[in-house]
Amino acid sequence: MAILEIKKFNEPVLRKKCEKVKKVDEEIKKLIVDMAQTMKEEQGIGLAAPQVGVSKRVIVVQTDLEGRRILALVNPKIIKKSQEKEKDEEGCLSFPGIFLEIKRAKEVEVEGLDIKREKIKLKAKGLLARVFQHEIDHLDGVLFIDRISFWQRLKIRKKLQQRDPAA
């Protein structure tokens, strides 16, 4: 197991649409294990492969509040979203210290492959639904700052540039 480097907000890999995984092989399994370890170490509740510099459709998500159960999904996709939405605070390991109010579907249905190459489909609501939406957005090159207003984004960019002038 290895702790991977989290790519920050200004890294181009975060804006790329990720490639579909053709085969869940040993390389993908190792990536999943390393991502889970990295997420745990960084105290996150979700992590997408582009956040560790890998442009593949892989996410890991903490499914319980105690952090004991981590689910990996390969080629995940949202197949159904509730019409009902809710606004709540989100953070992102690629944007340390930034928390934003984001409006998302209250419930989702997600499908993908697990680490054993088996197709799984699950329903999620509340925080877990939010995490799935956030992480799957990453796979399409969409960041949570893309879901706020233009003026809010300007404020955030200013804050980020104060921390890192290269932003």
Spell out the domains of the chain, with CATH numbers in brackets: 12-163 (3.90.45.10)
Catalytic machinery residues: 135
Cβ atoms of 87 and 101 within 8 Å: the answer is yes
Between 111 and 161, whose confidence is greater?
111
- 45 backbone dihedrals φ, ψ, rounded to 5°: -120, 5
- Measuring CA to CA, how many Å separate 3 from each of 27, 32, 41? 15, 11, 8
Per-residue pLDDT, 57: 98
Per-residue pLDDT, 166: 59
Q: Which H helix or E strand runs over 35?
A: helix 26-41
pTM of the model: 0.92
Q: What is the rounded distance in angstroms from the CA atom of residue 152 to the CA atom of residue 3? A: 32
pLDDT tens for 110-148 read 999 999 999 999 999 999 999 999 999 999 999 999 999
* Residue 156 binned pLDDT confidence (cut-offs 50, 70, 90): confident
pLDDT tens for 49-80 read 999 999 999 999 998 766 578 999 999 999 99
Q: For the residues 12-31, what does the mean pLDDT come to? A: 97
Between 85 and 9, whose confidence is greater?
85
Residue 167 has pLDDT above 60, yes or no: no
Q: What is the rounded distance in angstroms from the CA atom of residue 61 to the CA atom of residue 78? A: 14
* Residue 160 binned pLDDT confidence (cut-offs 50, 70, 90): confident
